[in-house]
Amino acid sequence: MSSGYSRTPAAGIKWAGFCRHFSSRAAVNDVIGNDLANTDSSLAFMEGKERLDPFSIVADELSLIATRLRSMVAAEVPNLASAAEYFFKIGAEGKRFRPTVLLLMATALNVRIPELPPAGVGDNLPTDLRTRQQRIAEITEMIHVASLLHDDVLDDADTRRGVGSLNAVMGNKLAVLAGDFLLSRACLTLASLKNTEVVTLIATVVENLVTGETMQLTTASTKRFSMEYYMQKTYNKTASLMSNSCKSVAILAGHSAEVAKLAFEYGKNLGLAFQLIDDVLDFTGTSASLGKGSLSDIRHGIITAPILFAMEEFPQLRAVVDKGFDNPANVDIALEYLGKSRGIERTKELAMKHANQAAAAIDSLPQSDDEDVMKSRLALVDLTQRAGRVGSGELGKRFEPIQKLSGQGKKPTRIIGACGDDGEAVRWNDHQIGHKLAKFAAAAGIFDGTLRLRLAQVDVDLRCRGAWAKVTDRR
Amino acid sequence: MHFRLKKHILERLDPFSIVADELSLIATRLRSMVAAEVPNLASAAEYFFKIGAEGKRFRPTVLLLMATALNVHIPELPPAGVGDTLSSDLRTRQQRIAEITEMIHVASLLHDDVLDDADTRRGVGSLNAVMGNKLAVLAGDFLLSRACLTLASLKNTEVVTLIATVVENLVTGETMQLTTASTQRFSMEHYMQKTYSKTASLMSNSCKSVAILAGHTAGDAKLAFEYGKNLGLAFQLIDDVLDFTGTSASLGKGSLTDIRHGIITAPILFAMEEFLQLRAVDKGFDNPANLDTALEYLGKSRGIERTKELAMKHANQAAAAIDSLPQSDDEDVIKSRLALVDLTQRVITRSK
């Protein structure tokens, strides 16, 4: 491979790493249809223009998993609100990040294991194995959504601030119960896999999620300013789920400890890269300039990597942070320091570093000539580039701007919650139930269309499309 | 024969004291097991183990007694020398079931308190009142994850399935309680199903797990299950009665917590069968006048008595399960079985 990938050297190296698996350019060409002689098109490939869409490779399986998740929830979701009924419609799912990674990993690891029985008997095994690996994807989604719901539980002070404390209390019940329900289902599905090592890994994930969230609640100032503490918290809250579920996929397939570790490293670094870019986007939004993002982290007093880096350059920023960010003027001051610092750049660099480590893990997998295996590995590497970079790529925060729908001649409505495909609420006001439902629906990605609900004497519309949901208060 | 001879000894024998040493070992291990690196989590999880429940740890006591009670010689065990090590490993594993059971139980209590918006638990401020709802929920999840880790370490997938079923049942039970459709509110069957899910499932499946870890037959494992199930049901039914009667035998001296929260329990359900008009009062129990009306009907009915009779029936079924175990001449086995039977009576006759 030439060294002419000067625009994105890191991407070029990853590409070159892959190419060594192929016997010739022509062979690569056959697989992915790219003309390698054309440097530009390769770069275009690596910058995410979809010649190879990781999500589409596994689209069928994703939709199978979504159907299974939906049928499970539809049968059991409790009728908590006083006269609400839930109608679940089948529709486009949108991009489901975690299951996509896991399914691609399952294929990417599909190196023939010598001890598999001969073809006749062996044919039965892989199907079971694939189903079991799909279960890991289901379990992962259930745990992810459960943790979002539990993270959302409000304390009494918060419930009193809401419009009508009854709503907030109901919101808490919904959050706790729905989360518990999902956790219990995850436990049962886990048990059905009959693999105690996997049970251990997934149990560790739950523990890490809780620990991470609790770390975030901790306000001891020394820890708040520590990058190391922050990265540990980030691992717990975001990367652990990815790392341990990737490893579980490997373990179910009976891979060696080394291969399992590579899967783990991929998931871990991918998760870290993803979160670091998330931190950046919270400041920059989809534009490159500061302050166009939603700034929800800093407004909640959550100190993320860019600010931590900025504090290293400008110690006086600590005093600003200590004052808290209830006062918008303080936010502006912090943003000013951030702009002067290399905080954003350094975070992006760190994200890229982790993205490359993830890609390197894939590169280190035992060689395979199988076309599906190669395709999946390419897709996994592609995901690292999407995750590790701020771009217009699909892994960035993707949501429509919140509009205030005031109708002339129409019934006025108020948007009361919305969130993107990562399950994070972009904005909400004081209707906490709407907020929770929006998160739940979007993160689970199980709706499409409009649900009309009555919750605690309030009519709400839950309008969902693809991977995000918007809750409107009908008055 | 042995049974009757030893019974008089049992009258002076406290089931809890038979296993007291092991209980305190388990308590110590539990405390270290829920130690967390994050201070808030650690104090939250510890919170519950500190609260006065130190004395009688009901569930672990049952499980430890069951472990001994089942200690029928299993033919395929290797000769004594090796067997001794195996036995102690087995006992440790069975103790783990007791630890797992406690962690899951406490986790469910922490979450229930948030769901109920409870201020107190066992006379002390509830965790959610003291440290916040969110921390209580997180602490519950933390305990659950620790329970799962311990479960995985047992490397027995049947037991993993049983305990996972318990977790699901707990959630189902709580869901049933919160979301009962009106047709089901007055159904005794629905109520018993809910009670099984919320209370008895933990006991039944953990007893069965103890049997399974020891490699017992399916028949014996089922007996262990039946004991746990019926004991749990009896326990809850008497709990329902005590909520009305308190420590006195007359109505209205109890805390009346259930009915004030609109939770319809067995005595009221029975009373509703006799006095259909009582159903009309439902959902208005936060109004003290309605509450008095309900208590009046309850007093006129045989609700309390019938609940006690049902509890006795289940207690006897539990005792019968123990009696049906394969005979043994081992003194410890006999003692433990007597203690288990004794527990079924204590559950019925307790006043708090």
Of these ranges, A311-315, A383-387, B135-139, the one predicted with the greatest mean pLDDT is A311-315
Q: Can you give the pLDDT at residue A463?
A: 56
Which residue in B40, B43, B130, B145 has the most chain A C-beta atoms within 10 A of its own C-beta, making it the best mutation to test that interface?
Answer: B145
pTM score, two decimals? 0.77
User: Which alpha helices (H) appear in A47-91, and where do they start and end?
Assistant: 54-57, 59-76
Residues A65, A29: Cα–Cα separation, whole Å:
32
Structure-token match 């991977």, residue found = A467
Q: Which two tokens stand for residue A410?
A: 């129409």
Asked if A176 lies within 8 A of B141 by C-beta distance, the reply is no
Cα A454-A176-A154 angle, rounded to 5 deg:
85
Highest mean pLDDT among A27-31, A87-91, A467-471, B203-207: B203-207
Contacts of A233 in chain B (CB under 8 A): none
* Shortest CA distance from B147: residue in chain A: A203
Three-state helix/strand/coil letters over chain B: CHHHHHHHHHCCCCHHHHCHHHHHHHHHHHHHHCCCCCHHHHHHHHHHHHCCCCCCCHHHHHHHHHHHHCCCCCCCCCCHHHHHHHHHHHHHHHHHHHHHHHHHHHHHHHHHHHHHCCCEECCEECHHHHHCHHHHHHHHHHHHHHHHHHHHHCCCHHHHHHHHHHHHHHHHHHHHHHHCCHHHHCCHHHHHHHHHHHHHHHHHHHHHHHHHHCCCCHHHHHHHHHHHHHHHHHHHHHHHHHHHHCCCCCCCCCCCHHHHCCCCCHHHHHHHHHCCCHHHHCCCCCCHHHHHHHHHHHHHCCHHHHHHHHHHHHHHHHHHHHHCCCCCCCHHHHHHHHHHHHHHHHHHHCCC
Contacts of A204 (CB under 8 A, 6+ apart): A240, A244, B145, B149
- Please list every residue in chain A whose beta carbon sits closer than 8 Å to the beta carbon of residue B126: none
Nearest residue, CB atoms, A177 vs list B141, B157, B175 = B175
Q: Using the 8-state DSSP alphabet, how is residue A22 labeled?
A: S
State both tokens at A215.
């770390």
Q: Count CB atoms within 10 A of the CB of residue B176.
A: 19
pLDDT in tens, A205-215: 999 999 998 88
- CA–CA dist A35, B70 (Å, integer): 72
- pLDDT for position B122: 62
B294, B265 contact by CB (below 8 A): no
Residues of B in contact with A240 (CB under 8 A): none
Strand-pairing partners, residue A469, are A419, A464
Give the pairing of strands A413-419 and A468-474: antiparallel
Give the pLDDT confidence of A49-73 residue by residue, as tens digits: 345 677 788 888 888 887 787 776 6
* Domain ranges across chain A: 54-111+128-284+348-388, 431-474
Architecture of domain A54-111+128-284+348-388: Orthogonal Bundle (1.10)
Q: How many CB pairs lie under 8 A apart between chains A and B?
A: 136
Give the phi and the psi of residue B333 in degrees, each rounded to 5. -60, -45
Both structure tokens of A32: 């992915």
Please report, rounded to a whole number, the percentage of residues in chain A having pLDDT higher than 70: 56
The number of beta carbons lying within 10 Å of the beta carbon of residue B50 is 11
Higher pLDDT, B86 or A22: B86
Between A58-67, A193-202, A400-409, the lowest mean confidence (pLDDT) is in A400-409
Partner-chain residue, chosen from A176, A206, A207, that has the shortest CB–CB distance to B115: A176
The whole-number average pLDDT for the span A390-401 is 40
Q: A376 vs chain B: nearest CA distance in angstroms?
A: 31
> Is residue B103 predicted with pLDDT exceeding 70?
yes
* pLDDT at residue A293 tops 60: yes
Note the pLDDT tens digit of each residue in A322-368: 888 888 889 899 999 999 999 999 999 999 999 999 999 999 999 88
CA–CA dist B170, B198 (Å, integer): 5
Mean pLDDT of chain B: 84
Nearest beta carbon to residue A187 from set B115, B153, B164: B164
In this structure, are residues A206 and A189 in contact, taking their beta carbons and an 8 Å threshold? no
Confidence class of residue B256 from pLDDT cuts 50, 70 and 90?
A: confident
Distances (CA, A) of A337 to A282, A332, A346: 16, 9, 14
Contacts of B163 in chain A (CB under 8 A): 191
Does B174 sit within 8 Å of A188, measured CB to CB?
no
Q: How far is B244 from chain A (nearest CA, A)?
A: 27
> How many Å apart are CA A402 and CA B165, to the nearest integer?
42
For A96-120, what is the mean pLDDT? 73
Most confident of A3-17, A39-53, A160-174, B318-332: B318-332
Highest-pLDDT range among A46-55, B102-111, B242-251: B102-111
Closest-CA distance, B1 to chain A, in angstroms, reads 44
Strand partners, B85: none
Closest CB from B138, B139, B178 relative to A177: B178
Q: How confident is the model at residue B87 (pLDDT cuts 50, 70, 90)?
A: low
B118 to chain A nearest CA, in Å?
12
Whether B36 sits inside 8 A of A211 (CB atoms) is yes
